[in-house]
Structure 1
Amino acid sequence: MREHESPIAEGPLDRYLDELFVALRHGEAPSARRLLAETEAHLRECSARLRAQGMDPESAEREAIRRFGPIEAVTPALRSPRLPLRAFLRPAVGLAAAGAIAVGVSGALSELFGRLWGAGFVAGDLPGNAYTAARCAVYQAPYPGLDCLHAAAEHHWGEVVEYRVALGILGLLLLLVWRFLPKSAPLPSGLAPTLAAAAFFLAAAATGFEALNAALQGWGGAGAWLSAAAVSLPLAVAFGLIALQRLRPRLAPA
């Protein structure tokens, strides 16, 4: 073979095949392997014909790629991937586990806040809230000596902590289930942490707003919201960094 007919090392054709490989890596392995092999064979054959007609190697490869079409055109399945339902099971369970565990941690934080600054800080009512005499009697029964509002705060504080911690325990059980679920059909890399980051960011924004609203009206019940925001925001940042790390190979320039 003459020198001008030899393929280019790391030329346009190789870069095209590298990009195609990355685009196909989450597809079904047999189909992706066949498409990659057929594409390479076609491009190299077309490039060889063009070189035989007098083109220089790089121009021949570029023309072969132009005739073959862009990656998006030769892999239409990537635009509407057909994933089995089992592909969503493990990520969904993992996201549910993370959310439930986060709620459990916020419950433990609410317990700490209540011990430091009182039940009213965690579960006190906003100004203007009132209870009927019958409801006050229910709240005051376990807390003799406390007025209705303070007894209600003690009651609600216990509910906040207990329900959240119970959900956290459920999250740990879901995490155990997630640990043993098969990984045979993963979703695109970075999708699950991106969804988790978005969910925790929205939770942090919503609970942070409620905490600020309670603080402006006397801090009653601010602790319950603040504990949720204090857990959600760091998790949003952590999952966001994980998502960026997994998406970086795709975002990097060729």
Structure 2
Amino acid sequence: MNAHEDGMGRAGVGPGGPGAVDAYLDQLFAAVRDADPAGARRLLAEAEAHLRDSAARLAAQGLGAEEAEREAVRRFGPVSTITPALRPPLRAVGRLPLKAFVRPAVGLAALGAIAVGLSGILSEVFGQLWGAGFVSGDLPGVAYTAARCAVLQSPYPGLDCAQAAAAHHWGEVVEYRLLVGAVGLVLLALWRILPREIPLPAGLAPSLAAAAFLLASAGTGLQAAVAAVQGGQGVGAWLSAATVALPLGIAFGVLAFIGVRRGRISPSAAP
């Protein structure tokens, strides 16, 4: 066996340790360890065969062994563009076991709850800037009994009934949303430790998240517009929710688009 065959034919291991091909295969193995075993095994085998052949051709064209491996890896593409090929097609989603949806569902619930918590922080900011009425003031026509006004005004001396009601409701909006956000953090911690089951079709989870956040932004944005037209009281509670939900919906929409595109790449079609 000559030096070239030893450098290129024995898993790319040289005097300095594993080469670029082996390093890439290690990353690929780590990325697919939770996928379907048969599909992961085929992907690793096809990736290694392609990379070895490509590196050998490049070496035959005059590149050094290490440089040939690095160029082969560069042409093959990042690991993130290969692994979505292991995901099942969308048409197979009905045949997936229920356990495949547990971790994604917990993750989506965590994101939604954390978004609610963020809207609570934004509601606090709105109230500090423009007053409690902007966040949670009552719409025209809402009235309270004398007894209820007395209860509302007791923690807020000097405020009239409407102002005290707005301050009371502002506190509830912020506190309840922050509590939901805290639950979201707990769910996020749970999501991180849940086992990764069979992956969902590429782009499905971010598509669901995008749909949920975009619908939430549309609904809360409409409510904010209605409140604004009716006098401007209570706009902030709805506006804070829409302000958080809209960019998240757009971001997850982009991730869904990228995931669907990558899911169409198969190992054999890799460059």
- The TM-score with structure 1 as length reference comes to 0.68
* 1:222 paired residue number: 235
- Distance in 1, matches of 2:180 and 2:106, equals 14
1:131 matched to which residue of 2?
Answer: 144
The equivalent position to 2:154 in structure 1, one of 129, 136, 141, is 141
Counterparts of 1:147 and 1:88, CA distance in 2: 51
- Which residue identity does 1:173 align to in structure 2? V
What residue is the counterpart of 2:31 in the other structure? Answer: none
Cα gap change, 1:204 to 1:151, in 2 (>3 Å): same
Select 1:168's aligned residue among 155, 158, 181. Answer: 181
Alpha carbons of structure 1 residues 155 and 230: separation in structure 2 relative to 1, 3 Å: same
Structure 2 residue corresponding to 1:205, chosen from 218, 230, 239: 218
Pick closer, same or farther for the CA change 1:104–1:78 going to 2, 3 Å: closer
Change (3 A) 1:80 1:245: closer
- What residue is the counterpart of 2:202 in the other structure? 189
- TM-score, length of structure 2 as denominator length: 0.64
Q: 1:249 aligns with which of 242, 262, 267?
A: 262
- 1:92-131 to 2 correspondence within 5 Å? 92-131=105-144
Distance 1:121 1:165 in 2: 19
User: Does structure 1 conserve the Cα–Cα contact (< 8 Å) formed by 2:114 and 2:184?
Assistant: yes
Query: What per-residue deviation string (whole Å, max 9, x for no partner) do you get for residues 10-62 of structure 1?
Result: xxxxxxxxxxxxxxxxx95549999xxxxxxxxxxxxxxxxxxxxxxxxxxxx
- State the alpha-carbon separation in 1 of the partners of residues 40 and 186 from structure 2: 37
Separation in 1 of the partners of 2:245 and 2:222? 13
- Which ranges of structure 2 fall in alignment gaps of 5 or more residues? 1-34, 43-87
SS state at 1:219 partner? coil
- Counterparts in 2 of 1:215 and 1:85: CA distance versus 1, 3 Å: same
Query: 1:208, 1:80 → 2: CA distance?
Result: 32
1:80-95 to 2 correspondences below 5 Å: 81-95=94-108
1:221-248 deviations in whole A, cap 9, x for unaligned? 0000000000000000000000000001
Greater Cα shift, 82-91 or 242-251: 242-251
Equivalent residue number for residue 250 of structure 2: 237
* SS of 2:95 mapped into structure 1: coil
Q: Is the 8 A contact 2:202 2:263 kept in 1?
A: no
The size of the alignment, in residue pairs, is 189
Give the aligned residue type for 2:234.
G
What fraction of aligned residue pairs are identical, expressed as a percent? 66
SS at match of 2:155: coil
For 1:195 and 1:148, how far apart are their aligned partners in 2? 43
- Mapped to 1, the partners of 2:89 and 2:224 lie a distance apart of 47
Q: 2:190 aligns with which of 177, 183, 187?
A: 177
User: Once superposed, which parts of structure 1, at least 4 consecutive aligned residues long, lie more than 2 Å away?
Assistant: 27-34, 75-82, 249-252
Quote the offset at 1:249 in angstroms: 3.1
